[in-house]
Amino acid sequence: GMGLGGGLRFQEVFYWTENDLIQLALEPFVSYEPPAPGFFARFGFMLALDEQLGFGFDAGKVAAFRLTLGGKW
């Protein structure tokens, strides 16, 4: 009932004109969404998993923090 949660988001992007056709990313996140109308927030850490862009913890590879804020009514 307090609106706290979390999860794991898996994302893929398809490149039809490249040799490596699929790029993969993983985003663990925490979120807050109240049961009634009000403020919501989601904070995640996206890591690229593929050869070209990742692994996200390696130097020069892709890792990003992502924050979403908003309201519902």
pLDDT digits (tens, 9 = 90+) for 11-25: 988 877 767 678 888
pLDDT value at position 73? 85
- Beta-strand pair 38-48/22-32: antiparallel
Q: What average pLDDT does the structure give for the chain? A: 86
Handedness of CA 16, 18, 22, 24 (dihedral sign): negative
Q: Does 41 score more than 90 pLDDT?
A: yes
**Cβ(41)–Cβ(32) below 8 Å:** yes
| Sheet order of strands, 38-48 included | 4-14, 22-32, 38-48, 63-72
Write down the pTM of the prediction: 0.74
